[in-house]
Amino acid sequence: MPIRIVPATLRDLSYIAANLRPEDRAEIDCQLDHWSPALLALTALQGFAYVAELDGNPEAGFGAAEQRGGLWIAWSWGTCRMRRCVPEITRFFHAVLGPQVAAKGAWRVEARALADNELALRWLDRLGATQRCRLPGYGRNGKDFFLYDWTREGWNNVSLSKTTGTEAAAAGADRAGQGRAGA
C-alpha cells in the first residue's frame, strides 16, 4: 500500500471531509456551528495544505495556515483509513511542513484537540508539540479541548532555508507553492 503526500486540491479535501472518521467529525462539529465538506475543504486551502493518498485515494488532509503575523494553526483530519497514513504524514511534517512554516517566520504554531480524542492527543505528542493547557468548555455543548503548540525556541533542529530538497519535491516540478489559495 503505497502512501504519497501530494499538494491538496479542493476535490481531494472535499472527498476527505465528506468521509470523515468519527473522531474528526466530532472534533469539527464541536468547533464549527455550520460547516459542509466543501466549506471545510476551501478553508483548509488557506495556507500550506497537503493530502495523504493511500493506493491513490485521498485519505487525510493536513497543513497549517497563518492566523496573524507569526501565529499559525496546524490542522489535520481524515477518513477511517487515515491511521495507515500517519507514519508518512509524521515524517513529512518534520521534513517539509515544519520547515516551510518556520521559513515563513512563524513564532508559534498551535493545534487544538478534543480532550477525549486520544488518537489526536497521542499523535500531537509524537509530533513534538507541547501540551499547554486544558480549554474547559471550548467546544460546543461545553466540550473540553487541549491546546498544544510548537514555538520557535523548540525548533533547534528545523531548517529555516526557504526551499529544501524535500519541499521542492513536495511542491512538484512547477514549484507552485501548493496548497495556497489562488495558486
The string of pLDDT tens digits covering residues 31-49 is 999 999 999 999 999 999 9
Say which amino acid occupies 113. Answer: A
The neighbour count for residue 49, using CB atoms within 10 Å, is 26
Tens digit of each residue's pLDDT (9 = 90 or more) over 123-177: 999 999 999 999 999 999 999 999 999 998 876 555 444 433 333 334 333 333 3
pLDDT for the residue numbered 154: 75
* Beta-ladder partners of 64: 48, 74
Please give the Cα distance from 55 to 71 (Å, whole number): 34
Q: Residue 173, Cβ neighbours under 10 Å: how many?
A: 7
The answer to whether residues 81 and 54 touch, using CB atoms and an 8 Å cutoff, is yes
pTM score = 0.83
Q: What is the pLDDT of residue 99?
A: 93
Q: Give the residue among 41, 173, 178, 44 at the shortest CA–CA distance from 100.
A: 178
What gap in Å lies between CA 159 and CA 76, rounded to an integer?
22
**Are 58 and 78 a contacting pair, CB within 8 Å?**
no
Query: Residues 90-125: pLDDT tens digits?
Result: 999 999 999 999 999 999 999 999 999 999 999 999
Grid coordinates representing 137? Answer: 468548555
